[in-house]
């Protein structure tokens, strides 16, 4: 990877809705810059996490440096920074954008703009990025590039008539996109002689080199041997290696200079020392001010994660620590539950982030886990004037001491074909949504604006929205602040005893239907046992819902002769295995599914 002068560097990202072709375009760009051979192109290289490929989304940012020989005869260094594609990762997206001067906005020629695209485009415009619209999938029969170009102009206000119209799939006109990157996206600015300031936009843990930090150098330079300091924490490290990201491997260089995107390895043990958005400076010659925009990531959703097998507690901790190496947004601290034993209270950016962590714990670390109901962070005003933030039902205080409560609200934008407006309004109303307005994008599509309590969308709002719109609606939200609310803490009792792991905080108006639904779900998921198991939901001491798992009446092997003994023994062993997976709550055996079943609150399933 050769070094080029700063005027020939282009730092950019690609913004696209899921399925609109971001990864395919990235692949074509890699091919055209000959960063990778065709043979290696079988997989979409940027999405290199298994889970990402399955879900078709980018969870973590990745970056790659490419050489491009342009039509003007000059060589350019393209730094393509991939951005996460989900609302949960808005902050990470903003840091990736801050590392760029431009963004390619990919819009599907048949589907037009979606909520997510819009949100990220606005974010790019806020960061003063040059946005380069590209109409993709013109090879599709349903493609309407003119209509979509108009929509981009109308909705975003970006000139789009001369936007490249391409097919990332066939490669048609992709060359034009690269040329437009050269001509339209500005070269980075920055002062090479100023003290080092490099923006961290991603990092991951490598077992050989320690944390690999992806940075955009804004000012100054960094070399192997430089002692660097993380400006938010003050932690210092000596740079062992730095360089740029090739398409398939890291390419070491003797320095990174203002305007460049690259990596630093400095024997850093944990990504907690390399928070996304933090500024790296030179400890010997530090910058006076960090780069703007750093904030500590605030988890919005909390839930308890417990190992199914209590003996795996240490493994779970190790796994969470390893995940945290690559995911500074994940927070966790030890917590104990009477029902579930030792586990961790984990904080997530949102529900998708939570699901991803759960899936990775199960797949990559082979852990069987139980997750408790997610909770948002509530604000309680106490009678003594104190203010308390509660993210865990177990720390919910005596209601007599609460003067007032507030819950977080979000501003939600829902893009939908007009046919589903009714369904969506019904759903939002059911979720205590406050209707703001409807914006017609064209005759078939609208953008609905709602204000919704975050606690109504953390459980299953995405699924409910999808099932009510045949998957056509898209949804995006941002936190807007706290509002007064009437909250209650609901306890679930099995056999008369409170199961702490099933308690949750709910809006008073929603407590009764939710309690009933949870009792029903539990009844369906707790097998009959030797004893009858009453399931109750209570607020304070008052029971508001009840179901019963009837006692086993008959569970017997009538015939057990010579030939039945090993079969019976194996059956018993199998039952024992199954029972091991169960949680023993007093005298009640509860299968782990029961804990997740309570999450499913939507009545349509």
Partner 1 sequence: MPCDALYLHIPFCEQKCPYCDFYSVPARPDRMDAYTGALIRAIETAPFPMGRLDTVYFGGGTPSVMGGKRLAQILEAADRQFGIQSGAEITVECNPHSSLPETFRQLFSAGANRLSFGMQSASDRQLALLGRPHTCADVETAVSQAQQAGFSHISLDLMLATPGQTAGDIQAAVDTCARLGAEHVSAYLLKIEPGTAFAARDVGRLCPDEDGQAALYLTAAESLARAGYRQYEISNFAEDGQIARHNYKYWDCAEYLGVGPSAHSFIQGRRRFFPRRLQAFVENGNPWQLLEDDGPGGDAAEYLMLRARLADGIRWASLRERYPAYDCDALRGRAKPLADAGFLELDGEGLHLTVRGFLVSNAVIENLIG
Q: How far apart are CA 48 and CA 297, in angstroms?
A: 24
Long-range contacts of 89-92 (CB under 8 A, 24+ apart): 89/59, 89/329, 89/349, 89/353, 90/119, 90/123, 90/349, 90/478, 91/276, 91/277, 91/295, 91/297, 91/329, 91/349, 92/60, 92/61, 92/201, 92/202, 92/276, 92/329
Rounded to the nearest whole angstrom, what is the least distance from the CB of residue 563 to partner 1 in the complex?
A: 4
Rounded to the nearest whole angstrom, what is the least distance from the CB of residue 557 to partner 1 in the complex?
A: 6
Task: Tell me how crowded residue 310 is: count the other CB atoms within 10 A of its CB.
Answer: 12
Please, are residues 479 and 572 in contact by the beta-carbon 8 Å criterion? no
> Contact with partner 1 (CB under 8 A): which of 383, 429, 575, 584?
575
Residue 561 sits in the site that holds partner 1 (CB under 8 A)? yes
The three-class DSSP label of residue 407 is strand
Shorter beta-carbon distance to partner 1: residue 224 or 586: 586
Scanning 2-138, the segments in alpha helix (DSSP H) are 22-32, 50-55, 90-98, 115-126
Q: Which part of the chain contacts partner 1 (CB under 8 A), choosing from 69-77, 238-246, 456-464, 523-531?
A: 523-531
In the chain, the largest separation of any two C-alpha atoms, in whole Å, equals 89
The three-class DSSP label of residue 422 is helix
Q: Which residues pair with 584 in a beta bridge?
A: 589
Q: Which residues pair with 250 in a beta bridge?
A: 245
Contact set for partner 1, span 228-267 (CB under 8 A):
none
Rounded to the nearest whole angstrom, what is the least distance from the CB of residue 597 to partner 1 in the complex?
A: 22
> Contact with partner 1 (CB under 8 A): which of 167, 392, 529, 536?
529
> Contact with partner 1 (CB under 8 A): which of 269, 560, 580, 584?
560
The three-class DSSP label of residue 10 is strand
Please name the residues in contact with 511: beta carbons below 8 A apart, sequence gap of 6 or more.
488, 490, 539, 544
Q: Which part of the chain contacts partner 1 (CB under 8 A), choosing from 35-43, 155-163, 383-391, 564-572?
A: 564-572
Query: What are phi and psi for residue 465, nearest 5 degrees?
Result: -65, -45
Shorter beta-carbon distance to partner 1: residue 314 or 572: 572
> Contact with partner 1 (CB under 8 A): which of 554, 581, 598, 599?
554
Q: Which residues pair with 493 in a beta bridge?
A: 498, 536
Residue 580 sits in the site that holds partner 1 (CB under 8 A)? no
> Contact with partner 1 (CB under 8 A): which of 556, 577, 603, 604?
556
Shorter beta-carbon distance to partner 1: residue 333 or 555: 555
HSE-CB at 53 with a 13 A cutoff on CA atoms is 9
Residue 559 sits in the site that holds partner 1 (CB under 8 A)? yes
Q: Which part of the chain contacts partner 1 (CB under 8 A), choosing from 199-207, 222-230, 480-488, 528-536?
A: 528-536
Please, are residues 379 and 392 in contact by the beta-carbon 8 Å criterion? no
Q: How many residues bind partner 1 (CB under 8 A)?
A: 25
> Contact with partner 1 (CB under 8 A): which of 73, 288, 563, 604?
563
The three-class DSSP label of residue 41 is helix
> Contact with partner 1 (CB under 8 A): which of 439, 568, 580, 584?
568
Shorter beta-carbon distance to partner 1: residue 269 or 550: 550
Residue 548 sits in the site that holds partner 1 (CB under 8 A)? no
Scanning 331-448, the segments in alpha helix (DSSP H) are 351-364, 421-430
Shorter beta-carbon distance to partner 1: residue 295 or 550: 550
Q: Which part of the chain contacts partner 1 (CB under 8 A), choosing from 190-198, 257-265, 271-279, 560-568?
A: 560-568
Please name the residues in contact with 552: beta carbons below 8 A apart, sequence gap of 6 or more.
528, 529, 530
Task: Tell me how crowded residue 424 is: count the other CB atoms within 10 A of its CB.
Answer: 21
> Contact with partner 1 (CB under 8 A): which of 314, 531, 580, 584?
531
Rounded to the nearest whole angstrom, what is the least distance from the CB of residue 569 to partner 1 in the complex?
A: 6
HSE-CB at 327 with a 13 A cutoff on CA atoms is 25
Rounded to the nearest whole angstrom, what is the least distance from the CB of residue 328 to partner 1 in the complex?
A: 45
Q: Which part of the chain contacts partner 1 (CB under 8 A), choosing from 116-124, 428-436, 536-544, 555-563?
A: 555-563
Binding characters for partner 1, 444-483, by CB under 8 A (x = yes): ----------------------------------------
Q: Which part of the chain contacts partner 1 (CB under 8 A), choosing from 343-351, 355-363, 486-494, 572-580?
A: 572-580
Rounded to the nearest whole angstrom, what is the least distance from the CB of residue 306 to partner 1 in the complex?
A: 23
Please, are residues 186 and 151 in contact by the beta-carbon 8 Å criterion? no
Q: How far apart are CA 428 and CA 426, in angstroms?
A: 6
> Contact with partner 1 (CB under 8 A): which of 403, 419, 436, 557?
557
The three-class DSSP label of residue 399 is helix
Please name the residues in contact with 299: beta carbons below 8 A apart, sequence gap of 6 or more.
329, 331, 347, 348, 349
Q: Which residues pair with 10 in a beta bridge?
A: 78
Rounded to the nearest whole angstrom, what is the least distance from the CB of residue 524 to partner 1 in the complex?
A: 17
Residue 310 sits in the site that holds partner 1 (CB under 8 A)? no
Shorter beta-carbon distance to partner 1: residue 170 or 587: 587
Residue 429 sits in the site that holds partner 1 (CB under 8 A)? no
Rounded to the nearest whole angstrom, what is the least distance from the CB of residue 551 to partner 1 in the complex?
A: 8
Rounded to the nearest whole angstrom, what is the least distance from the CB of residue 582 to partner 1 in the complex?
A: 11
Parallel, antiparallel or unpaired: strands 250-253 and 241-245: antiparallel
- Closest by alpha carbon to 64, among 45, 51, 42? 45
Shorter beta-carbon distance to partner 1: residue 142 or 558: 558
Residue 141 sits in the site that holds partner 1 (CB under 8 A)? no
Element containing residue 82 per DSSP (H, E): strand 75-82
> Contact with partner 1 (CB under 8 A): which of 566, 577, 603, 605?
566
According to DSSP, residue 335 is labeled E
Shorter beta-carbon distance to partner 1: residue 470 or 569: 569
The three-class DSSP label of residue 565 is helix
Scanning 196-312, the segments in alpha helix (DSSP H) are none
Q: Which part of the chain contacts partner 1 (CB under 8 A), choosing from 27-35, 153-161, 171-179, 557-565?
A: 557-565
Q: Which residues bind partner 1 (CB under 8 A)?
A: 529-531, 552-563, 565-566, 568-569, 571-572, 575-576, 579, 587
């Amino acid at each position: 990877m050769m070094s080029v002068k700063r005027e020939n560097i282009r730092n950019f990202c690609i913004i696209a809705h899921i399925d609109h072709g971001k990864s395919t375009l990235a692949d074509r760009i890699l091919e055209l810059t000959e960063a990778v051979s065709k043979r290696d192109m079988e997989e979409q290289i940027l999405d290199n996490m298994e889970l990402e490929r399955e879900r078709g989304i980018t969870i973590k940012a990745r970056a790659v440096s490419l050489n491009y020989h342009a039509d003007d005869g000059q060589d350019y260094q393209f730094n393509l920074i991939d951005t996460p594609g989900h609302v949960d990762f808005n902050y990470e997206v903003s840091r990736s954008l801050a590392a760029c001067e431009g963004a390619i906005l990919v819009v599907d020629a048949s589907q037009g703009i979606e909520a997510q695209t819009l949100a990220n485009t606005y974010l790019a415009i806020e960061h003063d990025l040059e946005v380069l619209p590209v109409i993709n999938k013109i090879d599709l029969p349903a493609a309407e590039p003119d209509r979509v170009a108009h929509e981009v102009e109308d909705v975003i206000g970006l000139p789009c008539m001369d936007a490249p119209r391409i097919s990332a799939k066939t490669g048609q006109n992709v060359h034009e996109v690269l040329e437009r990157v050269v001509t339209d996206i500005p070269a980075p600015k920055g002062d090479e002689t100023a003290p080092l300031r490099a923006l961290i936009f991603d990092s991951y843990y490598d077992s050989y080199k320690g944390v690999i930090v992806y940075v955009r150098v804004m000012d100054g330079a960094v070399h192997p041997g430089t002692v660097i300091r993380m400006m938010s924490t003050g932690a210092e490290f000596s740079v062992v290696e730095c360089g740029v990201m090739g398409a398939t491997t890291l390419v070491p260089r003797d320095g990174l200079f203002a305007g460049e995107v690259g990596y630093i390895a400095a024997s850093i043990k944990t990504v907690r020392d390399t928070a996304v958005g933090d500024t790296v400076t030179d400890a010997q010659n530090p910058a006076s001010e960090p780069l703007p925009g750093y904030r500590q990531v605030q988890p919005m959703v909390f839930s308890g994660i417990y190992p199914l097998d209590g003996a795996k507690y240490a493994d779970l901790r190790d796994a969470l620590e390893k995940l945290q190496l690559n995911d500074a947004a994940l927070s966790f601290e030890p917590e104990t539950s009477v029902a579930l034993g030792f586990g961790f209270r984990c904080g997530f950016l949102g529900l998708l982030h939570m699901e991803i962590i759960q899936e990775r714990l199960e797949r990559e670390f082979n852990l069987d886990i139980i997750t408790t109901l997610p909770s948002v962070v509530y604000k309680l005003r106490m009678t003594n004037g104190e203010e308390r933030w509660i993210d865990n039902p177990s720390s919910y205080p005596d209601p007599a001491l609460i003067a007032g409560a507030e819950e977080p609200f979000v501003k939600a934008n829902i893009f939908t074909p007009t046919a589903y407006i009714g369904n969506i309004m019904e759903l939002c109303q059911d979720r205590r949504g406050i209707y703001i307005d409807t914006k017609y994008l064209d005759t078939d599509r609208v953008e609905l604006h709602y204000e919704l309590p975050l606690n109504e969308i953390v459980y299953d709002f995405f699924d409910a929205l999808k099932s009510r719109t045949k998957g056509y609606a898209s949804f995006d939200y941002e936190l807007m602040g706290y509002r007064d609310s009437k909250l209650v803490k609901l306890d679930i009792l099995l056999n008369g005893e409170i199961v702490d792991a099933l308690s949750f905080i709910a809006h008073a108006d929603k407590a009764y239907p939710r309690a009933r639904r949870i009792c029903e779900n539990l009844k369906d998921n707790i097998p009959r046992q030797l004893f009858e198991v009453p399931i109750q939901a209570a607020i304070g001491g008052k029971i508001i819902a009840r179901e019963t798992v009837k006692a086993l009446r008959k569970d017997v092997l009538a015939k057990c002769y010579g030939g039945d003994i090993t079969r019976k023994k194996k059956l018993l062993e199998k039952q024992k295995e199954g029972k091991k997976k169960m949680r023993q709550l007093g005298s009640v055996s509860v299968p782990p599914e029961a804990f997740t079943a309570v999450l499913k609150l939507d009545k349509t399933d």
